[in-house]
Amino acid sequence: MKVLGNRAKADWRAPLPAERAGASVRLSGLRRSFGPTKALNGLSLDIAPGELVALLGPSGCGKTTALRVLAGFETLDAGHVLVDGQDLAGTPAQKRDMGMVFQSYSLFPNMDAVDNVAFGLRMRGHAARARRDKAGELLDLVGLAVEAKKFPHQMSGGQQQRVALARALAIEPRVLLLDEPLSALDAKVRLQLRQQIRSLQQRLQTTTVFVTHDQEEALSIADRVCVMRDGRIEQVDAPADLYARPATPFVAEFVGTMNRIPGVTESGGVRVLGRLLAMRGEGTTNPGVPVDVLVRPEALSLSDAPGSDGRGIVTNKTFLGAVTRVQVLVEDGLGVQVDQPSEEVATLALGAPVGVFIAAPDVLTAERRAPAAFHEAPSN
């Protein structure tokens, strides 16, 4: 961060060598209950210096509580929060050196952008001139130098969140905490700011925890995504691994789109649409158990060639750009979604008979859920 001082005209897109690495964070066995609700139920997570970890999960999964515990705004029933090996138990929020950007606009309405950004420096006793210079640099960094004299009510939501980001970064935080900072913004601004946050974070190498319920946001911004459910971690992995090899049916269905196709376990795997596939994950290994097989739309393909795994008729087509999502009614009311290159299915008519192939080498299984149907991940 100190390197900023040498850059009179900083541009957030330009590469900037990291001068100081972020702090390491260890969350160990965190437990926190609100009445009968267990918001955190033994959560443990290690975050490497300079890493951006997204906490992803449905509302009520405990992701915001975890962030607030880290920030010092919530107390723990049990567990430890360590930053660079130092236990933060008993350290109040104002002494934790953590920059935080909130979901709701949190700029101080009585201060202009510069004073907002300089607030943390003022609290640290920096001289007026030094803090104004630094605030100016930070505003420049988020591309808002010309808005420096504006008050929050004179700025758009996106601008306010960028000032909030500059304000959080101004104190050179050991850890940057982002609590759904993009959820109040419209889609276009959200995308821009997302890229800006990622770019800045990579340049400054600030260890960052990003809380979101938007899987697309988490997958696109994070080094690792931590999927949470009921106060626990379901899986922590790099975005590509999380998508390609979800550890549990919950992760599989929460991240991306997933087909549920009924199958029956056998000694060598699971039989689905007449074909025997290898199984992975924690599913049952007893033969003869009816299960749902989880297959991504892109792991299925359509063809008229003989020997297909299943046959059905096209009931719907959704053009998604390079690929088209084709909905096929396979059997007894079972619908599956298949992603095909758009040019291959351009002439495919609704009602046309097609063959469905499964291209996955191994599959995840879940308990049979009736009626079997495709599952759309929640989109936000």
Interaction with other proteins in 318-337: which residues (CB under 8 A)? Answer: none
Distance CA 293, CA 360 (A): 11
| One residue of 32, 63, 96, 134 binding other proteins per CB under 8 A | 96
Q: 102 or 357: whose CB is closer to other proteins?
A: 102
Q: 104 or 316: whose CB is closer to other proteins?
A: 104
- Reduced to 3 states (helix: H, G, I; strand: E, B; else coil), residue 274 is coil
Contact between 188 and other proteins by CB under 8 A: the answer reads no
Distance CA 270, CA 260 (A): 13
DSSP character string of 30-56: EEEEETTEEEEEEEEEEE-TT-EEEEE
Residue ranges of the alpha helices (H) in 284-358? none
| One residue of 12, 73, 243, 357 binding other proteins per CB under 8 A | 73
| Number of neighbouring beta carbons within 10 Å of residue 29 | 13
Contact between 150 and other proteins by CB under 8 A: the answer reads no
Contact between 167 and other proteins by CB under 8 A: the answer reads yes
Contact between 253 and 359 (Cβ < 8 Å):
no
Work out how close the CB of 85 gets to other proteins at its nearest, in angstroms, rounded to a whole number: 22
Q: Which residue(s) pair with 294 in the sheet? A: 260, 364
Contact between 27 and other proteins by CB under 8 A: the answer reads no
Q: 10 or 100: whose CB is closer to other proteins?
A: 100
Contact between 119 and other proteins by CB under 8 A: the answer reads yes
Stretch that binds other proteins, among 1-9, 151-159, 188-196, 228-236 (CB under 8 A): 151-159
Q: Which helix (H) or strand (E) holds 303?
A: strand 300-303
Residue ranges of the alpha helices (H) in the chain? 63-71, 113-123, 128-141, 157-170, 187-204, 215-221, 239-244, 249-254
| One residue of 124, 304, 316, 359 binding other proteins per CB under 8 A | 124
In the complex, the residues that contact other proteins under the rule CB under 8 A are: 71-73, 92-100, 102, 104-110, 119-120, 123-124, 152-153, 156-157, 164, 167-168, 171, 177
